[in-house]
Structure formats: structure tokens, C-alpha cells
A = this chain, B = another copy of it.
Amino acid sequence: MNQSDWRERNRPARLERRLSFADYDHTRDFLEDMAGVSERLGYYPDISFGRTHVSITIHAEDGAECVDPARRALAGEVDALFARSQGASS
């Protein structure tokens, strides 16, 4: 997980990252890949998107003071997906 790319917030504890894409096709491809990761991990972060941006919020488990390692691993997977996506659009 690229610490610098994610904002760590409290009340409730969560990680947030906003990603920008070249066009809607790249946004859709990323969301499609994210769906696969969510299903594999059985965890579904809150996702907001428009034509060329996606914002992801990974919440800590209910009542937890901070985001646990398993969900931080999802943040790492998001970083990897996004890096691949950027490689594809450059």
C-alpha cells in the first residue's frame, strides 16, 4: 500500500484514495478489475465514480480503531491495479 497515496481518516476509521483516468473506457476497465478483487477478497469498499475519476473508501471493521492489515492489503491491490491501468494508457 502506497502510504502517501491514501488518506487515513478517523471517526470512522477509513482509508480514502481518489484516482484519475484518461477516459471513460479506462475508468470502466478499472472498475471491472476492482469488482474481481472485491469478489475474490469478499470485501466491497465504497466506490464513487464519474467519467474520469474513481474514489475508493476502505472502512475499518465495525468498531475498530483502525483499518486492519487484510483491508490494507486491498489498498495495495488497488494501487497495483491503478499502476497497471496507467501503464496501459500511457
A interface with B by C-beta (< 8 Å): 24, 28, 31, 35, 38-39, 44-51
* A47 and B49 contact, Cβ closer than 8 Å, known pairs A24-B39, A31-B31, A35-B28: yes
- Inter-chain contact B50/A44, CB cutoff 8 Å: yes
Contact A46 B39 (CB under 8 A): no
Contact B31 A44 (CB under 8 A): no
A39 to B28: give the CA distance in the assembly, Å. Answer: 11
Nearest Cβ on chain B to A76's Cβ, whole angstroms: 20
Chain B residue contacts of A31, Cβ below 8 A: 31
Please measure, in the bound complex, the distance between the C-alpha atom of A45 and the C-alpha atom of B24, giving whole angstroms. 12
Q: Which residues of chain B are within 8 angstroms of A39 by Cβ–Cβ distance?
A: 24
